[in-house]
Amino acid sequence: MADPQVIRRSGSATTAAQIDEGLRAHMNSVYGLMSVGMVVTAVIAWLTSQLATTTDPSQAVAQLPNDTLLTQFGATIYSSPLSWIIMFAPLIMIFAFGAVMRRSTANTARGLFLVFSAVMGLSISSIFIRYTGMSIASTFLTTAIAFAGLSIWGYTTKRDISGWGSFLIMGLIGLIVAMIVNLFLQSDAIAFAVSAIGILIFAGLTAYDTQNIKNTYLTMAHHGQTEWLAHSGISGALNLYLNFLNLFLFMLQFMGAQE
């Protein structure tokens, strides 16, 4: 792990001050882009749910088990084979994001991040049909508080938690496999275990990624590799966005009240 104190002592006071100021600006940029992505996701998810449902039986073409009436648009995205494409599209985009980052400009990468955020909103829009608005709001607030605490700890701790990375990634891969398997098994016990483990994994990743973003900036700035800082910030924003969103979705399964 890059030691900020060693980096600062290795240069002049002016250089150290510039690095500190640059780090604050970099972190603000990361959290700012992450926040924009979350707003895009929330707006698209809510709008999609509004377009997909109706209270007028004459406009309904399908009905969900909770008696929610679906429009033709809703039936297409929730009940047709297209629903599987919408479900897995964000995962496919995640794998493509790394390749695009290496070859694109920072503006293109930001644009792709916002497109991804919109697709994710479409993918999770059914939460506004399955859960009450109050439970979604309260879960979001709880997630925001937990995320802030974890991220602050990851940023300020003197402990090197870089060793968590490989363990958390292996756990994440196992979690994805279990979620895909449970799409077919529909086991409540597996769903409960996946949610509990998911919260722990993404809590750890929030602290880990925050420290990694900070240390990556310090290393790049110290060696003058400023051309990659914008790309690094976008990648960091994506990681934190995914951590927040998954924490929220897993916590919603515990705290959410069904419609």
DSSP result, 234-250: HHHHHHHHHHHHHHHHH
CA separation, residue 7 to residues 16, 83, 207, 232, 242 (Å): 8, 50, 22, 19, 30
Any bridge partners for residue 53, and if so which? 70
The model's pLDDT over 131-152, given as tens digits with 9 standing for 90+, comes to: 999 999 999 999 999 999 999 9
Contact (Cβ atoms closer than 8 angstroms) between residue 208 and residue 168: yes
Residue 44's CB is within 10 A of a number of other CB atoms, namely: 19
Q: Looking up tokens 């483990």, which residue turns up?
A: 197
pLDDT digits (tens, 9 = 90+) for 27-82: 999 999 999 999 999 999 999 999 999 999 888 998 888 889 999 999 999 988 99
Is 136 exposed, middle or buried, given 0-12, 13-18 or 19+ CB atoms closer than 10 A? Answer: buried
Kindly give, in sequence order, each residue whose CB lies less than 8 Å from that of residue 14, ignoring residues fewer than 6 positions away. none
Q: Tell me if 173 sits within 8 A of 235, measured CB to CB.
A: no
Give the DSSP H or E segment for 8.
Answer: helix 4-9
The pLDDT tens digits for 210-254 are 999 999 998 887 766 666 788 889 999 999 999 999 999 999 999
Q: How high is the pLDDT of residue 99?
A: 78
- Tell me how far apart the alpha carbons of residues 242 and 254 are, in angstroms, rounded to a whole number: 19
Query: Taking 60 as the threshold, does the pLDDT of residue 8 lie above it?
Result: no
User: How does pLDDT run across 156-197, given as a tens digit for each residue?
Assistant: 999 999 999 999 999 999 999 999 899 888 898 999 999 999
Q: Rounded distance, CA 252 to CA 257, Å? A: 8
Check residue 157 and give left, alpha or beta (phi > 0: left; psi -120 to 50: alpha): beta
The predicted pLDDT at position 14 comes to: 44
Q: Name, in order, each residue with C-beta under 8 angstroms of 202's C-beta and a sequence gap of 6 or more.
A: 242, 243, 246, 247, 250
Answer yes or no: is pLDDT of 5 > 70. Answer: no
Q: Which pLDDT does position 104 carry in this prediction?
A: 83
What amino acid occupies position 250?
F
CA dihedral 3, 8, 10, 11 (to 10 degrees): 150
Question: Has residue 12 got a pLDDT over 70?
Answer: no
Rounded to an integer, the average pLDDT of 108-129 is 94
Q: CB neighbours (10 Å) of residue 150? A: 22
- For the entire predicted model, the pTM comes to 0.89
Q: What is the pLDDT of residue 10?
A: 47
Question: Residue 20: its pLDDT value, please?
Answer: 81
- Tally Cβ neighbours within 10 Å of residue 215: 17
In what order do the strands lie in the sheet containing 62-63? 53-54, 69-70, 62-63
